[in-house]
């Protein structure tokens, strides 16, 4: 398939050997830098070249669409450099890096082909690896791969249906297993149609497609109920529960001997809280044998409503970070912040509990953003607890940079609980535009500095505060007449310089 598409576009056929180097022909391959698919596209590059990437579908995993995008990208790179070796190098490390390497070589009077450029070690090994793959694939017997049989060509037969048809129903109508259909369509990684669209396409073998078309002729209407296994894909928030009650399909079953709420919730892919709510149970309720219970299973309308309203998604969390003190150990930090060493290692991606150093920033917990009760139409608000500029920017449909400009902030960490904050452009901006001061070699001009008072928060250090307000520890010690650099207490008032 890849060779045929390259030949059709008039590109060198040896470019097909980039795929075994990139992903070893694994459509589900994922790198440490979150590059995905046969051609290892990162999300931003994939979107530029027309691939859909969202919470429902990832077309980087689609072999045909990813190959089309890769061909377009390689054409673009060849148009810039005019050399396939440089185009392959730019595919690996980025066109900007290769351009800078060429410019450096030209300034030094060197040749600017691939072999004479100074590029990252990975890239310098990438192009020779492709060439080596081409040699091995063309002479498999010589290199000990004569026993390996090539796979049969991919069946590119596709069908298209509305999103009301679940993949499980498509598999049943096509008389094939659900797992086989999912393997054919890795782009639908959730096993659910993309609910942001009205219809979707999928790969299905030719024989099974005929079965599907015959089934649709007999009964063109989709099933009203989806399998309760789809419950696991939905969130556990109260709003999603209400959507399930409104648009889901009710299913009834009987309690058997030995059943309990935990086992029933696990069996039907739901939560104990939902099971108790839908059947009006509480902690004192007794499950009697043969009692009829009810659950709701999702339909396509449930997923459509969840996709339409982003407020159904899970609550935003803010990471609480500290700096590791001298001699600090994970066990001591875990005890202080009421967590466990295992959680600290998972949050900070540590492989060894002793692999921390003094001054390192460490996530010690997560907290919910508390900006849900803020008025949407206000132009000035009081900053609530546990929120950030980025969360406020999302809520008021602006950017963090604009919020900083309107409020005279030079750093996002200057946001304090209770401070008045403009969330819309003020009518009259009292602050005058700063004039650029052109410094002469032999003349020095003093920059006017004003001061403001802040309060010390948990985990603050003089070094951290000095870094935020672009000053030094010595200046802060002198301004506040501190006896020691480490003598800070919680909620202490500090005077900090603030350039005007």
Domains observed in the chain: 2-138 (1.10.530.10), 158-218 (no CATH), 228-310 (3.10.350.10), 317-368 (3.10.350.10), 380-422 (3.10.350), 449-499 (3.10.350.10)
| pLDDT score at 233 | 66
Comparing C-alpha atoms, which of 455, 470, 473 is closest to residue 415? 455
439 pLDDT above the threshold of 70? no
Give residue 317's pLDDT band: very low, low, confident or very high (50, 70, 90): low
Q: Would you tell me how many other CB atoms lie within 10 Å of the CB of residue 348?
A: 17
Q: Which long-range contacts (CB under 8 A, 24 or more apart) does 103-108 make?
A: none
The predicted-structure confidence for 23-63, as pLDDT tens digits, reads as follows 888 888 888 888 889 898 888 888 888 888 887 888 899 99
Give residue 109's pLDDT band: very low, low, confident or very high (50, 70, 90): confident
Measured between alpha carbons, how far is 244 from 242 in angstroms, rounded to an integer? 5
| pLDDT score at 228 | 60
| pLDDT score at 432 | 44
373 pLDDT above the threshold of 70? no
- Say if residues 498 and 469 touch (Cβ distance below 8 Å): yes
- φ/ψ of 498, rounded to 5, equals -135, 105
pLDDT (average), residues 365-389: 71
The predicted-structure confidence for 193-210, as pLDDT tens digits, reads as follows 887 788 889 999 888 888
Q: Among the listed ranges 85-99, 230-244, 272-286, 470-484, which one has the minimum average pLDDT value?
A: 230-244
Give residue 374's pLDDT band: very low, low, confident or very high (50, 70, 90): low
- Mapping DSSP onto H, E and C, the string for the chain reads CHHHHHHHHCCCHHHHHHHHHHCCCCCCCECCCCCECCCCECHHHHHHCCCCECCCCEHHHCHHHHHHHHHHHHHHHHHHHCCHHHHHHHHHHCHHHHHHHHHHHHHCCCCCCHHHCCCCHHHHHHHHHHHHHHHHHHCCCCCCCCCCCCCCCCCCCEEEEECCCCHHHHHHHHCCCHHHHHHHCCCCCCCCCCCCCCEEEEECCHHHHHHHHHHHHHCCCCCCCCCHHHHHHCCCCHHHHHHHHHHCEEEEEECCCCCCHHHHHHHCCCCHHHHHHHCCCCCCCCCCCCCEEEEEECCHHHHHHHHHCHHHCCCCEEEEEEECCCCCCHHHHHHHCCCCHHHHHHHCCCCCCCCCCCCCEEEEEEEECCCCCCCCCCCEEECCCCCCHHHHHHHCCCCHHHHHHHCCCCCHHHCCCCCEEECCCCCCCCCCCCCCCCCCCCCCCCCCEEEEEEECCCCCCHHHHHHHCCCCHHHHHHHHCCCCCCCCCCCCEEEEEEEC
| pLDDT score at 376 | 65
| pLDDT score at 155 | 80
85 pLDDT above the threshold of 60? yes
Alpha carbon 310 to its chain's center = 15
Q: Among the listed ranges 213-227, 393-407, 434-448, which one has the minimum average pLDDT value?
A: 434-448
447 pLDDT above the threshold of 50? no
**Sign of the torsion formed by the C-alpha atoms of 263, 265, 271 and 273:** negative
One of 9, 22, 95, 377 is an active-site residue; which one? 22
pTM, two decimals, is 0.56
Give residue 411's pLDDT band: very low, low, confident or very high (50, 70, 90): confident
Say what angle helices 238-247 and 300-308 make with each other, to 10 degrees.
Answer: 140
CB within 8 A of 35, min separation 6: which ones? 41, 42
| pLDDT score at 237 | 76
Give residue 131's pLDDT band: very low, low, confident or very high (50, 70, 90): very high
| pLDDT score at 446 | 43
| pLDDT score at 67 | 92
Q: Among the listed ranges 49-58, 282-291, 349-358, 366-375, which one has the minimum average pLDDT value?
A: 366-375
Give residue 128's pLDDT band: very low, low, confident or very high (50, 70, 90): very high
498 pLDDT above the threshold of 80? no
The predicted-structure confidence for 151-182, as pLDDT tens digits, reads as follows 778 888 888 888 888 888 888 888 888 888 88
Catalytic: 22? yes
Percentage of the residues of the chain whose pLDDT score is greater than 70: 87
433 pLDDT above the threshold of 60? no
For the chain, the average pLDDT equals: 81
| pLDDT score at 88 | 92
Token pair, residue 428, equals 């009259």
Higher pLDDT, 281 or 431: 281
């Amino acid at each position: 398939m890849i060779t045929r598409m390259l030949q059709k576009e008039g590109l060198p056929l040896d470019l097909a050997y980039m795929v075994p180097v990139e992903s070893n022909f694994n459509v589900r391959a994922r790198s440490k830098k979150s590059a995905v698919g046969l051609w290892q596209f990162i999300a931003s590059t994939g979107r530029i070249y027309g691939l859909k990437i969202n919470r429902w579908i990832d077309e980087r995993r689609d072999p045909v669409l990813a190959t089309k995008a890769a061909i377009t990208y390689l054409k673009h790179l060849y148009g810039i450099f005019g050399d396939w070796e440089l185009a392959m190098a730019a595919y690996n490390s980025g066109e900007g890096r290769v351009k800078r390497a060429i410019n450096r070589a030209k300034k030094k009077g060197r040749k600017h082909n691939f072999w004479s450029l100074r590029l990252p070690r990975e890239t310098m090994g990438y192009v020779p690896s492709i060439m080596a793959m081409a040699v091995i694939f063309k002479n498999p017997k010589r290199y000990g791969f004569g026993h390996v049989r090539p796979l049969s060509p991919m069946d590119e037969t596709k069908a298209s249906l509305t999103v009301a048809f679940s993949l499980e129903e498509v598999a049943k109508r096509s008389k094939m297993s659900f797992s086989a259909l999912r393997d054919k369509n890795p782009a639908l990684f959730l096993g659910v149609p993309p609910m942001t669209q009205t219809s979707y396409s999928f790969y299905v073998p030719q024989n099974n497609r005929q079965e599907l078309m015959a089934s649709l002729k007999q009964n063109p209407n989709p099933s009203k109920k989806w399998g309760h296994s789809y419950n696991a894909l939905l969130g556990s928030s109260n709003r999603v529960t209400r959507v399930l009650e409104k648009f889901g399909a009710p299913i009834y079953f009987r309690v058997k001997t030995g059943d309990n709420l935990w086992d029933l919730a696990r069996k039907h892919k739901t939560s104990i809280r939902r099971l108790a709510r839908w059947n009006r149970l509480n902690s004192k309720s007794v499950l009697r044998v043969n009692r009829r219970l009810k659950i709701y299973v999702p339909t396509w309308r449930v997923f459509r409503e969840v996709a339409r309203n982003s407020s159904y998604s899970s609550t935003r969390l803010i990471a609480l970070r500290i700096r590791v003190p001298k001699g600090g150990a994970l066990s001591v930090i875990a005890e202080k912040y009421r967590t466990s060493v295992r959680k600290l290692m998972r949050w900070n991606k540590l492989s060894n509990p002793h692999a921390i150093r003094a001054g390192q920033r460490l996530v010690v917990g997560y907290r919910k953003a508390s900006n849900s009760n803020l008025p949407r139409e206000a132009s000035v608000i009081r900053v609530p607890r546990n929120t950030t500029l980025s969360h406020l920017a999302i809520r008021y449909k602006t950017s963090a940079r604009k919020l900083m400009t309107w409020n005279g902030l030079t750093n996002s960490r200057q946001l304090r609980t209770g401070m008045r904050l403009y969330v819309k452009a003020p009518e009259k901006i009292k602050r005058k535009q700063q004039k650029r001061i052109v410094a002469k070699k032999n003349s020095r001009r003093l920059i006017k500095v004003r001061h403001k008072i802040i309060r010390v928060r948990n985990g603050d250090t003089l070094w951290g505060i000095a870094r935020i307000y672009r000053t030094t520890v010595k200046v802060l010690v002198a301004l506040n007449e501190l006896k020691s650099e480490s003598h800070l207490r919680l909620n202490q008032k500090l005077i900090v310089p603030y350039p005007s």
